[in-house]
Amino acid sequence: MNNEIHNNINSTEILLNSINNTDTIDFSKWTKEKANLRYNGQLPKFPIYNNFIYWCNLGINIGSEQNKLRPVLILKTSKNSPICAILPLTTKRLNDYFWFHIDLEEIDSTI
């Protein structure tokens, strides 16, 4: 198994080095952070409740997925589950009048 891990890491390093883009550095940092979170047990020790808003690092992702630290609304979670469904919120009010964007009145944010 160690040889397979080593080969995967080397292949990834070759790919990332072949691309001249600062995004690759961020991607490699996020990959390391994900490994730390998953295998070193550094998950948050505080309770996460439904219908509460938390700050969440959504990481470096692919395509049009969210890619930064932003507020999220917890839609569904269970007491003993490490997984929850979230709704990312913006940090600015959009005022764009799309039916699926809901501007929050009391704060400068959009759902």
Output the tens digit of pLDDT for each of the chain's 111 residues: 688 988 888 898 888 888 877 778 888 888 888 888 778 866 667 788 888 888 888 877 766 666 678 888 899 888 777 788 988 887 666 667 777 666 666 666 556
Same domain, 29 and 6: yes
In this structure, the answer to whether residues 49 and 31 fall within a common structural domain is no
Token pair 């080593």 in the structure block, residue: 6
Domain containing 98 equals 45-111
Angle at CA of residue 58, ends 56 and 64, nearest 5°: 140
| 57 shares a domain with 36 | no
30 and 59 assigned to the same domain: no
Question: What's the pLDDT at 77?
Answer: 85
Residues 58 and 88 placed together within one structural domain of the fold: yes
Distance CA 42, CA 106 (A): 34
Residue 92 DSSP class: S
Query: In the prediction, which pLDDT does 75 show?
Result: 92
- Give yes or no: residues 4 and 27 share one domain: yes
Q: pLDDT at position 59, please?
A: 76
Q: Are residues 96 and 65 in the same domain?
A: yes
